């Protein structure tokens, strides 16, 4: 009997898989979890992108603008991140123009757009709308139509600025949206062409020099017709993308008063009105 018990115990211990049949599966599953890229959890929700979302990460953030070569007019840009905006406060602080995010891709409209677009207008500001481009989801022309159909149009009332194509780092994946430089230029051209066909106006391009250089090869062909809104959070605007000899607007900080994103229009208020009038 003692020997029999010894043999029985020895046999039992030599086959642990019979006692824990799922142990190998659990270990394998745990290993797969550890292999998932950590950055996946940091990808923002679709629709949450906004002007300058990648500027701090890629270009950094410096001090107060020191560019005083000409009179400049203060402006702001807003998205759903700001919610309902205190437009009277901004107007009293000297802000005279504003852009509100209208759309992204062909899947998102800003739920605060009406309050932002109409609210800025109602306090006396010159206002406009912008579109956050996602060149990896649909064509440029398709997104231009979506933008115009959801608030991005233009009217010659002296108070409405032309629409903006916000083309910058992809917050959801590869910086250049998986496109070659030539394919990116073609996508942008498609958007601009369709926007002008729908509104009669040349859209404004919002971008950063580092992104433009990387993702378009520093293409210069849009500069003759398209106003430039440059993003650079520093004391000076720095080098502009190829072709543009000057900027029309400059987003100089994401940490301004009342709302974070503040901008300088390169001229006095009458030049803002001139852009609105075309």
Which residue in 250, 180, 247 sits closest to 219, CA to CA? 180
Q: What is the pTM of this model?
A: 0.80
Q: Report the relative pairing of strands 204-207 and 249-253 from DSSP bridges.
A: unpaired
Cα separation, 253 vs 250, in Å, equals: 9
Contact between 222 and 205 under an 8 Å Cβ cutoff? The reply is yes
Fold of 55-277: TIM Barrel (3.20.20)
Locate 213 and state its tokens. 């250089």
141 sits in which H/E element: helix 140-147
Sign of CA dihedral 46, 52, 55, 56: negative
- Catalytic positions are 77, 166, 168
User: Over the stretch 226-276, which tens digit does the pLDDT of each residue have?
Assistant: 999 999 999 999 999 999 999 999 999 999 999 999 999 999 999 999 999
**What are the boundaries of each domain within the chain?**
2-36, 55-277
pLDDT in tens, the chain (278 residues): 444 443 444 444 444 444 444 444 444 444 433 333 334 557 878 775 677 656 655 555 556 565 555 699 999 999 999 999 999 999 999 999 999 999 999 999 999 999 999 999 999 999 999 999 999 999 999 999 999 999 999 999 999 999 999 999 999 999 999 999 999 999 999 999 999 999 999 999 999 999 999 999 999 999 999 999 999 999 999 999 999 999 999 999 999 999 999 999 999 999 999 999 99
């Amino acid at each position: 009997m003692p020997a029999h018990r010894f043999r029985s115990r020895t046999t039992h211990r030599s086959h642990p898989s019979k006692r824990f049949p799922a142990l190998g599966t659990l270990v394998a599953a745990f290993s797969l979890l550890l292999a998932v890229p950590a950055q996946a959890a940091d990808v923002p929700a679709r629709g949450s992108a906004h002007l300058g979302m990648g500027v701090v990460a890629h270009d950094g953030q410096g001090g107060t603008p020191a560019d005083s070569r000409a009179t400049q007019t203060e402006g702001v840009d807003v998205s759903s991140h700001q919610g309902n905006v205190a437009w009277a406060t901004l107007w009293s602080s000297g802000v005279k123009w504003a852009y509100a995010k209208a759309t992204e891709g062909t899947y998102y409209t800003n739920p605060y757009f009406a309050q932002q677009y109409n609210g800025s207008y109602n306090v006396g500001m010159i206002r406009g709308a912008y579109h956050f481009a996602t060149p990896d989801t649909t064509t440029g022309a398709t997104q231009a139509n979506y933008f115009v159909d959801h608030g991005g149009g233009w009217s010659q009332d002296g108070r409405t600025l032309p629409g903006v194509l916000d083309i910058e780092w992809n917050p959801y994946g590869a910086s250049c949206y998986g496109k070659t430089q030539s394919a990116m230029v073609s996508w942008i051209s498609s958007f601009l062409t369709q926007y002008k066909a729908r509104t009669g106006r040349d859209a404004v391009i919002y971008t950063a020099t580092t992104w433009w250089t990387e993702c378009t090869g520093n293409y210069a062909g849009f500069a003759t017709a398209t106003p430039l809104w440059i993003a650079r959070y520093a004391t000076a605007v720095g080098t502009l993308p190829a072709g543009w000899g000057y900027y029309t607007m400059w987003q100089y900080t994401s940490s301004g008063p009342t709302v974070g994103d503040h901008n300088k229009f390169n001229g006095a208020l009458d030049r803002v009105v001139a852009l609105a009038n075309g």
